[in-house]
Amino acid sequence: MLDRKTIVENAEAIKQNCAARGAHVDVDKLIELELLRKAKLAEAQELNRQANETSKLIGKAKSDAERDELKEQGRKLREQKDATQTEHDQLDRDVAALQAHIPNLTHPDAPIGHDDTANTEVSFGKTPVRKFDFQPKDHVELGKSLDLIDFESGARVAGAGFYFLRNEAVLLDLALQQFAVQQLVLRGFTPITTPDVAHTGILHGIGFMPRGPETQIYSIENTDLNLVATAEITLGGMLSDQVLEAEQLPLKLVGISHCFRTEAGAAGRASKGLYRVHQFTKIEMFAFTLPEQSDSVHEELRQVECDLFDALDVPYRVVDTATGDLGGPAYRKYDLEAWMPGRGDAGEWGEVTSTSNCTDYQARRLNIRYKNKGEKGTHLVHTLNGTAYAISRALIAVIENHQQADGSVNIPQVLRPWVGKDKISPK
RNA sequence: GGAGAGGUGGCUGAGUGGUCGAAAGCACAUCAUUGCUAAUGAUGCGACCGGGUCAAACUGGUCCGCAGGUUCGAAUCCUGUCCUCUCCGCCA
């Protein structure tokens, strides 16, 4: 959420930013309503002041007649105040509704463009794209032949988009989690496990819109709880309404995230196998920083993501996300796209991680602040998030890139201690 | 799940209808004083949203878990709700 005052005072810049991001919000309308709202607020406050004054006089009234007269006067003032307040509250809701649809400001270096075709390549990983001297299989085929992934049972038990992992895939799943958490703890991140459900208000704070027709979120009936789509929700929500000491920042966390997504509207998109599923595990980085730290921490998160995929010997590229392809809260976003040899006709890049600098956009709604020692007043922190490994997609990249001509799959060196073997062979 | 107690400022904790944004203590800040790893005294010290100012001063409103209700007026009375604690039951 952007600050209302900022919106009013920078109307033209906000409109341009909305246009660049493809957000259709009537900024002029918002400003008009906001100014009206402020006028109403002043009016209600003045009426309230008069009513308070009258009430005080009643306490000091000398005669019953005088008291009754003042009571009547007070009652009228309260009525007027209530009416004005009601008008204000409606305006406030209207403004809030518009405000919620205004995306964050954008980093000046982010590429401008309507969609992901405008994303720019920033860099490539250490591992080059492999030239196969045989026809590589996709992970669905390998998953079946090596008895690693069972989509049929997943569909039977929970529906399309669910799956069972089996055998070495389970060990790989755990190994990826262990390795990522281990590396991040070495880099000063605090490991956290979080609830897998969260209140609707927390989802809103992070920028999700649960309970709408197009929502990505599973909600739990008869409760205010939703299954989380990422631990970004719970890690960010963890410090909602808290005031941190400036010296505690940056605060870097690594969460083990169970992700549930309805993927509404995703049907028909190229999304075979594990690529787009309703449930997966993710190792998620989250950071709270001082405003002046967020750019550098963002670069740090990107570097961690690169290092983690370099460690798997998986080829990838980093892209700087174009304005039109940024989510609402992101000020700037980098995606890592791993090479997936089995994707499409001859292999394609597929998104495996993303890291966003959300500046104060989430912090404002979640009310997460910091204060400088000895100073009065508080300021909003910046929040950032980044994927270490989204296990399902990392599995695709690992399995497809490390497959061998004989149908086996080599296990990346760094994961071998946890998997307990070098390769996955046909049974 | 059952029974009970409680949620007040950074903390402890008074406060059962108007003079309460809230006593007192602690903590904190500044000053003074004694000089020895601290004591004593004075003063100040909540947050948020507005108006005002170059900035202050000054000033209006809101806030006593949260949301409603009663009343001219609510920290105080009523209802709902959330959370915490204790005891019992159940249980991975």
pLDDT tens track for A336-352: 999 999 998 889 999 99
- Give me the CA A54–C1' B23 separation in Å, rounded: 27
- Give me the CA A54–C1' B15 separation in Å, rounded: 25
DSSP letter at A268?
T
A160 phi/psi in degrees, rounded to 5: -60, 140
CA–CA dist A99, A92 (Å, integer): 10
A203 phi/psi in degrees, rounded to 5: -60, -45
Q: Which residues of chain A have pLDDT under 70?
A: 213, 265-270, 374-376
Do A168 and A403 meet the contact criterion of CB atoms below 8 Å apart? no
Q: Which residue reads 């998030």 in tokens?
A: A385
Examine the predicted complex and report whether its ipTM is higher than 0.90: no
The residue type at A167: N
Do A148 and A142 meet the contact criterion of CB atoms below 8 Å apart? yes
- Give me the CA A247–C1' B39 separation in Å, rounded: 32
**Whose CB is within 7 A of strand B?**
A 4-5, 38, 41-42, 45-46, 48-49, 51-56, 58-59, 70-71, 74-75, 78, 374, 376-378
One-character DSSP codes across A285-302: EEEEE-GGGHHHHHHHHH
Do A200 and A211 meet the contact criterion of CB atoms below 8 Å apart? yes
pLDDT at site A111: 95
> Nearest nt (C1') to A52 (CA)?
B73
pLDDT at site A261: 93
pTM: 0.91
- Give me the CA A52–C1' B16 separation in Å, rounded: 22
Q: What are the residues facing A252 on neighbouring strands? A: A287
CA distances (Å), A374 to each of A244, A247, A249, A368, A371, in order?
13, 12, 16, 19, 8
> Nearest nt (C1') to A81 (CA)?
B61
pLDDT at site A245: 80
Positions in chain B where some atom is under 7 Å from a protein CB: 18-19, 29, 47-51, 60-62, 71-73
For nucleotide B72, give the residue with the nearest CA to its C1'.
A71
Q: Which residue reads 């703890």 in tokens?
A: A185
Instruction: Spell out the residues 6+ positions from residue A412 whose beta carbon is closer than 8 angstroms to its own.
Output: A311, A312, A313, A314, A398, A402
- Give me the CA A155–C1' B85 separation in Å, rounded: 46
